Structure 1
């Protein structure tokens, strides 16, 4: 970890450190100093386990974990991450303090683009918000739609030159830059869109409490979902899975009942990537009763993986390790019996040649009946986190149970026939946003209902309902 000398702390941080009992010249680790500061304000660092946060909502979001620098500091040290930023901060032209993004001096001078947030109602401890567009912003939106219809990205660029914080134009141009492999510019445009949104937040809108709701069916709100999703994926590709997980929790908390972008297909993968096994198990335990998470193939396999990885941790006692390993074995076997169609494509992606006993067995053939896109997402996203030797052991045990006519095999087969006839619309949205070719190729053709621009190759997905 990097060490931050006392003289390099901001005056406000120095004052808070003195109030918390830190001594000048101590040369404390920046993470330790920030932890002390946050604890003095009633905040606590997120525990690796779920015990310290059991009293908080499962989708509780911490501000500090929305900043990728927090995660990067853990990897490279504070000095490597923050060393060259303080001189630039003295010249910042942005005065609004934000949590989701850090404004950059390279951005155009900010002026409110005409977006505001309104509190619709408060009910049962929840606050329901919506974004609203001013009349001038609506006119810009019409120009944007004309630019989309023209299929010329230069028209989007021209519109942004006149309106540098128009949300949909920022999202669309980001997609164009990403397709042209300008990842840095693509990410920068998404961050600018999020900054514009956050500056419009209602004073009582809380990102962290898990009690703020935003209806995806209102067209003005969809761009915020998309900006958050795209930012989350950039963070994951950047090597910040813990920060990406925090954004995933944030997006899911905005509408956990409908889950319009089906974040449940992604939150388990990010939890495994960031080694937040206890969080994933707590989410599974809290939501299984009313959401049937075990019927999603990604959760069926990810929960088993979480138990396995917890059993391999050094601090786990031997008895607990054996219990977790035994439970992981049973969960993985049940997942393979329920979703046998996932195995062979997964092994193929991992470039593993199954032995003859597995490849020739009828059970792992094309017998599973479930939406193809759901199956694709399950094995494609998780191929990087599998422990193949453990998987092989469980596959052999599954074949033994199948040959022994285990009643669970027939029961799962009947469930697949009844439950996986077609995928709901939120899964289709998720597949489109994922841009995974193996998954998108399985989607049905989208019919243009008059409010969808999905037939335009480079149009925004925000019009999808």
Structure 2
């Protein structure tokens, strides 16, 4: 700003230049006590009127005073070098530059202070940067990366409430039974909870009750007390035919941040390590904790594991499994395996469900303090169990079996709550394919709004594979029952766009549209598409029952499919003439696990034969993850801890060799023989 402009502004407002400068600039420049800093220019009103640009050179006499440019010590040197005092300014241009520098510096200070206030909760501003490329990508993503980096922390935060069971009592089927049939008497509940899992004689039951009185802390009035802790069982109640014991069968440990990062990093070593590390740290800020179950390494447990492996893998023998159950009544893998034997050979669902509940009790008793607190408060969205650990996988399998049993008992809301729990343990990976059956229990429990919110959340909208046929078409049904006709039409359009093959099949199976001109040959499907569609079609008739809903499905789906067939480019794509992404052609491993565990014959018929030829299809641990990285460090000569583990890591291989060579009936001689300097192995 020139001296003429300053004087003109002074005359118009009646202010001195010093006061005007203080009001127009955020940076305060103190004036001299006895002299006007702008008097050095000595410009007169006559010179302005004459339009003369020349100014007489007058030696300025101003009292020197230091300017308080910066109060901070760290910027004092920089300020002395970069800022001149007004007495050193030689002309109007220098004054303008000085004022401009002051203004820019104050704006930068204000911007920095506001940025610090916004990011006050973060330790480092750069923590958000690694996820920016993934948050900027528009979902859904056509393929899934190993660590699901597009499912960022911000997207997880938006849908965490959908992974919460709310209250731990929602995991208790008795709560749902009370809501369905009113207040049941205590005697009725006690009678149901005291049923035996196997045929047990009255004499044995009497002995168990006597042991229960001698085992301090076993059971209690609510059947939820166990020795060694004051914490109550959360998922199970102790039955009368369970052998009282003060020994804890499993251990639970908390994962460190480093262990959680390594568990994710081994899957995709091409990814940046620091990205995964910052992602885990952000999850910790949300309160998410990682845990693992572990087996004891005592000899007795190794013997049980070895006998189980030999009876299931080496020479399958159900009779040996029953003998093992009597010797080791709390061996989780054997309990789950015998439960399936009872279900398939004798169709004894009650006994099968009782054995699954007993296996769940083993985990329930082993919960650590932090895990127990989170679950007791219903905060399942904060619990993570990496699927890489073997006993974690057994807990997943136990919950899966519990959900199936609850569905058979028609306690659908409790089954839905367990679905939330199971999905929350690993929401991105979803190892057992909860997304392929959670919609079934949401519809049957009449949780329509929850289902709509779930489908519209990042839990299904980030990756293309996450929007399964069941979720897509069940959302339409949920909207219809919520009386939202227009939204249901839009949802059906999205479902047909995503799963046209399933839509055509749904018409013929549910709407009984056999007279349609549409043919399945018009919608050629890969093995993945056909298998995913069958997981929904096999139970679709149980959901679509109302005539008005079936009529809507028939009318709107026909219209949408005919429009699709009119589009030749779309037809060429679905006929397979357009090359597809190879990553889309592979069957997701969680889909295979769900199909093999469900045991539905119609769905199993769609599984490629090459899957059954794989060695990792054992029912107790189907398609486990593998750590193929080198486990030996050639530089320091140390063996690295493997991220994944299996049942083989907890066995006695000498005993296994004896069983293979001599048979299971003669392995007792091996147990009595000295092993590695020991006198023998106690059973």
Query: Common fold, TM-score beyond 0.5?
Result: yes
TM-score normalised by length of structure 1: 0.76
Does 1:100 find its partner at 2:205? no
Q: How far 1:335 moved relative to its partner?
A: 1.9
What are the residue-to-residue correspondences of 1:13-412 with 2, within 5 Å? 57-61=161-165, 62-79=167-184, 83=188, 85=190, 95-96=225-226, 97-112=232-247, 114-121=249-256, 123=281, 124-125=283-284, 126-136=288-298, 137-148=301-312, 149-179=314-344, 180-205=346-371, 206-207=374-375, 208-209=378-379, 210-287=381-458, 288-292=460-464, 295-311=467-483, 324-343=484-503, 345-346=505-506, 349-350=509-510, 353-354=512-513, 356=515, 358=516, 360-362=517-519, 365-369=522-526, 370-386=528-544, 387-403=546-562
Greater Rg over alpha carbons, structure: 2
* C-alpha contact (below 8 Å) 2:339/2:351 kept by paired residues: yes
Deviation readout 1:169-195 (Å, 9 max, x if unpaired) = 100010011111111110000000001
Q: 2: distance between equivalents of 1:354 and 1:55? A: 38
Q: How far 1:391 moved relative to its partner?
A: 3.5
Q: Residues 150, 278 of structure 1: CA spacing in aligned structure 2 closer, same or farther, 3 A cutoff?
A: same
Q: 1: distance between equivalents of 2:550 and 2:497? A: 13
Q: 1: distance between equivalents of 2:410 and 2:363? A: 25
Q: Residues 186, 402 of structure 1: CA spacing in aligned structure 2 closer, same or farther, 3 A cutoff?
A: closer
Q: How far 1:135 moved relative to its partner?
A: 1.3
Q: Residues 236, 160 of structure 1: CA spacing in aligned structure 2 closer, same or farther, 3 A cutoff?
A: same
Q: How far 1:326 moved relative to its partner?
A: 1.0
Q: Residues 374, 85 of structure 1: CA spacing in aligned structure 2 closer, same or farther, 3 A cutoff?
A: same
* C-alpha contact (below 8 Å) 2:493/2:560 kept by paired residues: no
* C-alpha contact (below 8 Å) 1:117/1:129 kept by paired residues: yes
Q: 2: distance between equivalents of 1:448 and 1:83? A: 48
* C-alpha contact (below 8 Å) 1:93/1:105 kept by paired residues: no
* C-alpha contact (below 8 Å) 1:92/1:105 kept by paired residues: no
Q: Residues 274, 289 of structure 1: CA spacing in aligned structure 2 closer, same or farther, 3 A cutoff?
A: same
Q: 2: distance between equivalents of 1:443 and 1:198? A: 34
Unaligned runs of 5+ in 1: 1-53, 312-323
* Other structure's SS at 1:107 match: coil
Deviation readout 1:276-308 (Å, 9 max, x if unpaired) = 111112222222442347742112111111111
* Other structure's SS at 1:159 match: helix
RMSD over aligned Cα, in angstroms?
3.0
Q: 1: distance between equivalents of 2:449 and 2:525? A: 30
* C-alpha contact (below 8 Å) 1:293/1:299 kept by paired residues: no
Q: 2: distance between equivalents of 1:416 and 1:198? A: 51
Q: How far 1:355 moved relative to its partner?
A: 5.6
Bigger mean CA offset, 182-191 vs 142-151:
142-151
* C-alpha contact (below 8 Å) 1:372/1:439 kept by paired residues: no
Q: Which residue of 2 aligns with 1:460?
A: 620
Unaligned runs of 5+ in 2: 1-157, 195-218, 227-231, 258-280, 626-683
Q: 2: distance between equivalents of 1:262 and 1:194? A: 20
1:440 to 588, 601, 604: 604
* C-alpha contact (below 8 Å) 1:329/1:394 kept by paired residues: no
TM-score normalised by length of structure 2: 0.53
Q: 1: distance between equivalents of 2:411 and 2:575? A: 36
